[in-house]
Amino acid sequence: MKFPITRNPNTRFDSIDWNKLGFGVYFSDHIFISKYKDGNWDGGQILPYGPMEFEPALCTFHYAQSCFEGLKTFHCLDKSGKPTGYANLFRPDKNAARLNLSGERLCIPNLDIDFQIEAMKELVKIDQKFIPSKRGESLYLRPFIFGSSNFLGVQASAEYNFIICTSPVSSYYANGLEPIKILVSDKYVRAVRGGLGFTKAAANYAASLYGGKKAKEEGFSQVLWLDGVELKYVDEVGAMNIMFVIDGEIVTPTLEQGSILGGVTRMSVIELAKDMGLKVSERRIAFEEVVEAHEAGKLTECFGTGTAAIISPVGQLTYKGVDMIINNSQIGPISQKLYDAILDIQYSEEQDKRNWTVKFKL
């Protein structure tokens, strides 16, 4: 697929602090955009990144008919660590399919999966100078869709924009792999069964902001959300799925709960851990069980998994005013092993035994 390209005359490259990328702070020179009208998506084009004009009655401003994805692309490196002129996308088919899953729940029309992946590749090619080459850094792709009709009656939009922008990133958390402190919320909820929790709807993130702000004021990086009905069972962290190592076994909430995002890193970690001979169980987890395991000395590790966060060790969980320190607030051996395994696959073709990465010429 070839897409028309309008080049950005003013590169953003020089305004980037490459030693301090952070997450989602800088953006590359171009976006991909395709518009849906009269029942069809157009063929798409590449345009300069920059301000866009919308009417005040844009339905998404009012009713949040919007969902997004996040995935990463990496330079393929040779044995000496030098870029080979090829890039890798990590499991883009999974993200493209999930965009459609979210879209279906939000009454947003589906987009062909190959079309989405071609759009990603072409956009990365044109902005290839923005792919960082240090291990742990990447070019993050943010595909998203929103209703673009203008009206105030509550209904699904007739028109949509599908956009991909890209951002050179380092680690999601300011202190990289340093274990984070998480507040287990016994007050606010992120999602309920039957709602949007299993999708990557923008509205899920809006729902998490207030509880997240309160937690940050108390010195926590994130909130662990419990189920929205009984506030009893573990759901997810919002920016990540959550896993516990209890008695040597990895335990993580089952997607059957209906309120948890099916993370691409989550599914990859489960497969890698099983291949490493570790026992993994996906099931409902009452948070009290985690508390009991901690008291009995059986909770040896806890970590989040996500595209942005990769593997993020959790050094402290605080629930109802009680702090639970995990593994002396140090990264544990299982978290470290899984982190290394994911990065090895993302940066080196040789390690990718499962063909998870899609390699393409820059």
In the complex, the residues that contact ligand COI under the rule CB under 6 A are 70, 239, 306-308
Of the two residues 227 and 236, which places its CB atom closer to ligand COI in the complex?
236
Closest CA to 23 of 324, 310, 348, 335: 310
b/e for 297-326, b at 16 or more Cβ within 10 A?
eebbbbbbbbbbbbbbbbbbbbbeeeebeb
- Helix intervals (H) in the chain: 59-63, 92-105, 113-126, 202-217, 264-275, 287-295, 333-347
* Cβ at position 66, least distance to ligand COI in Å: 13
Minimum distance from residue 82 beta carbon to ligand COI (Å): 27
In the complex with ligand COI, the residue whose CB is nearer, 89 or 324, is 89
Task: Report how far residue 255's alpha carbon sits from residue 272's, in angstroms, rounded to the nearest whole number.
Answer: 18
Please identify, using beta-carbon distances, which residue of 239 and 338 lies nearer to ligand COI: 239
Least gap, CB of 10 to ligand COI (angstroms):
27
Give the total residue count for the chain: 362
Q: In angstroms, what is the minimal distance from the CB of 67 to ligand COI? A: 11
C-alpha to C-alpha distances, 7 to 46, 124, 182, 312, nearest whole angstrom:
8, 14, 43, 37
What is the closest distance, in whole angstroms, from the C-beta atom of residue 24 to ligand COI in the complex?
A: 7
Q: How many CA atoms lie within 13 A of 231 on its CB side?
A: 8
Q: How far is the CB of 236 from ligand COI (least distance, A)?
A: 11
Q: How far is CA 307 from CA 73, 153, 179, in A?
A: 11, 36, 17
What tokens were used for 349? 């073709």
Residues 6+ apart with CB under 8 A from 295: none
Give the nearest distance from C-beta 206 to ligand COI in angstroms.
Answer: 12
Which is closer to ligand COI, CB of 239 or CB of 251?
239
CB-wise, 72 or 121, nearer to ligand COI?
72
- The neighbouring-strand residues paired with 305 are 241, 311
Nearest distance in Å: CB 316, ligand COI: 21
Residue number, nearest CB to ligand COI = 70
> Which is nearer to ligand COI, 70 or 228 (by Cβ)?
70
CA trace torsion 357, 358, 359, 362 (10° rounding): -120
Given the complex with ligand COI, which of 106 and 239 has the nearer CB atom? 239
Nearer to ligand COI (CB atom), residue 87 or residue 237: 237
Q: Supply the minimum distance, in Å, between the C-beta of residue 199 and ligand COI.
A: 12
CA 329 remoteness from chain centre: 24
Using left for φ > 0, alpha for ψ between -120 and 50, and beta otherwise, residue 155 falls in beta
Best CA proximity match to 31, nearest among 14, 51, 48: 48
**What's the rounded Cα separation, in Å, for the pair 362 and 359?**
9
Nearest CB to ligand COI, comparing residues 202 and 290: 202
Looking at beta carbons only, is 212 or 306 nearer to ligand COI? Answer: 306
Find out whether 289 and 298 touch, Cβ atoms under 8 Å.
Answer: no
Q: How far is the CB of 290 from ligand COI (least distance, A)?
A: 23
Q: Rounded to whole angstroms, how far apart are CA atoms 320 and 309?
A: 26
